[in-house]
Structure 1
């Protein structure tokens, strides 16, 4: 969504500066038409001195650039960039992309993060929420007033880039989990269900697609993921920049997440490509699921429930897979077009009247 938003802002005549750590996407951002400012930031670090240093860096960048409007997209930036931006009298819009473990885990670091949210989010001019549950949570906790809390349809999906693709031919049925390789994404449950399915039905292939997040303590190591391919029969495909050809070669995309999602991008991508999906009734995931219409719902943390859903896909005739895939496509066309998300941003920015 961010790249589509940046392109739209540049087209509208806004001067866009992206403040983020230097990585492999930096040149792509510059090619879109924005300016890059390097920001030293440890996304997963918990050292308060490091976070204070990052906040000071942001303050100096904003003081030099004098931005009219600052858009934030990650939990840390929603906190620290809000402080730095408001100290420089900027208009702030924060995107709440999901509550993750900050609001579900009971630990000292999570308690501190929640306290920082409580102190900083009232300073923002608008908060954009990807699902109604997160919005209501913030309202109940008095992190934001209702008139400043807007709902957007997830991160949205570019329907021109992600076009419906035909279901693969052949007798082998291929399942794919697309996510960061975190335990809360249901990766362990998927591997166990896949192992059972492959024992019962030999012509099944199950794969994992996504990066191993070494900075996250719940991440599954790349070494273990590779061993699963040898001992469990579940292929780890690594991470890719373009998921379209990988999803296109599979029949069904699975995300048995019990993570506090916004709206999972992998499900939006799969649905846009006209694939049946399997996911849980968890917050965010349920927004892309119409049970037994565009796929099957499973219970969080339940290998038995996930196995049953995957077996239903396997036993479905090809015409039924096509029907479910088209239902997925129609769902995202109706609810998750990225132009609706960008339209919300542009409407707010035009009301501010500064570029």
Structure 2
């Protein structure tokens, strides 16, 4: 039986985003090992319930200590030498870099990496990028120069990322190594289509971490303007605070906004689908370097129109004017205009929402996505 190493970081992300892939690999009689660095017993049990074996290692995702990272690499290398996988498949920046280096040192037959968005180091803020992120970006590119030449495949989720990372920085790689997968996909049966109840007042929903780059400030500012004109319109935010992030919304500011009555904030919830189904329009004014945002895929599968930004990743979800609207990043005026469009034309919610659903069926079905991923990986 062939063996696959899946190298990630957080157990929750690996379970949520690789669940169906792991199940499919097990069904194909592959032995799957999931390597994780942030976990608890509950998430480990969930991963094991899929049929995967779990190996834990130490990695600081945000740390800048090269000695610590080398130690992580050697820990992964020892696992690879012990279990001798036929394929090492890594995701996210640090696992990709150090997992792939470990696989190369251990002479793994096939080494593949997936970049699910370029992330914060490649995200440009309205007032520029801070010095720390510029340094992180420099070192990331330098390490990609070391790793990419020996990767058998480098998988991206959107067509913009390889241009901005590989072409613009002239990073060498094997011929035909770069592949575009598209969205990771969803188990669509978990996101049933549901028409919006047209007897209800229009409502908007934002689902993301409460960070500047996810567009939370633009959403809040637009909500204030729209609600002053249409008091019955509802605005909801679902997502956790990230107090460690310098661009995060603080709890104090959030409490002040909640007190004004402009938004509803249930916080972190486990029934996201119900909240989407109860809302008319999904809004994500993100300028973060997304792969393809999962929350947008979920909203489209349920059958909701989308207002999002015309930036890499986000633009891959919307056909402008068909299932929603693409707006320029940071542009409050256009965002308000598109919100008001749905308020003044409520029949368009279900018309455009149905188009979102059709796109989701065509592009986001995880079973179709996994077939394409298996072809890229060379898995029978």
- TM-score grouping bracket, smaller chain normalisation: over 0.9
Aligned equivalent of 1:88, options 106, 127, 137: 106
- Flag the 1:240–1:62 CA change in 2: closer, same or farther, 3 A: farther
> How many Å separate the matches in 2 of 1:7 and 1:73?
18
Structure 2 counterparts to residues 99-114 of structure 1, below 5 A: 99-104=118-123, 105=129, 107-114=134-141
> How many Å separate the matches in 1 of 2:251 and 2:98?
31
> How many Å separate the matches in 2 of 1:60 and 1:178?
39
- Flag the 1:283–1:348 CA change in 2: closer, same or farther, 3 A: closer
Larger CA deviation: 231-240 vs 274-283: 231-240
> How many Å separate the matches in 2 of 1:201 and 1:72?
48
Correspondence 1:125 to 2:152: yes
Correspondence 1:341 to 2:369: yes
Secondary structure, counterpart of 2:210 in structure 1: coil
Provide the residue aligned with 2:289 in structure 1. Answer: 260
> How many Å separate the matches in 2 of 1:268 and 1:34?
26
> How many Å separate the matches in 2 of 1:230 and 1:181?
17
Structure 2 counterparts to residues 117-196 of structure 1, below 5 A: 117-140=144-167, 141-196=170-225
- Which ranges in structure 1 are unaligned for 5 or more consecutive residues? none
Correspondence 1:25 to 2:43: yes
- Flag the 1:83–1:215 CA change in 2: closer, same or farther, 3 A: farther
Larger CA deviation: 279-288 vs 83-92: 83-92
* Contact persistence 1:117–1:143 (CA under 8 A): no
TM-score for both structures, normalised by structure 1: 0.92
Provide the residue aligned with 1:67 in structure 2. Answer: 85
* Contact persistence 1:139–1:145 (CA under 8 A): no
1:70-115 deviation digits (Å, cap 9, x = unpaired): 1111111111111111111222221110112223456222211111
- Flag the 1:341–1:300 CA change in 2: closer, same or farther, 3 A: same
Provide the residue aligned with 2:230 in structure 1. Answer: 201
1:191-228 deviation digits (Å, cap 9, x = unpaired): 01011111111111111112223443322234433432
* Contact persistence 1:272–1:328 (CA under 8 A): yes
Provide the residue aligned with 1:288 in structure 2. Answer: 317
Equivalent pairs, count: 351
> How many Å separate the matches in 1 of 2:76 and 2:271?
31
Correspondence 1:43 to 2:61: yes
- Flag the 1:309–1:86 CA change in 2: closer, same or farther, 3 A: same
Secondary structure, counterpart of 2:360 in structure 1: helix
1:284-323 deviation digits (Å, cap 9, x = unpaired): 1111111121112221011111111111122122x32111
> How many Å separate the matches in 2 of 1:337 and 1:97?
17
> How many Å separate the matches in 1 of 2:172 and 2:253?
40
> How many Å separate the matches in 2 of 1:228 and 1:10?
48
* Contact persistence 2:144–2:171 (CA under 8 A): no
- Which ranges in structure 2 are unaligned for 5 or more consecutive residues? 1-16, 124-128
Provide the residue aligned with 1:322 in structure 2. Answer: 350
Aligned equivalent of 1:309, options 322, 338, 347: 338
Secondary structure, counterpart of 2:190 in structure 1: coil
- Flag the 1:182–1:7 CA change in 2: closer, same or farther, 3 A: same
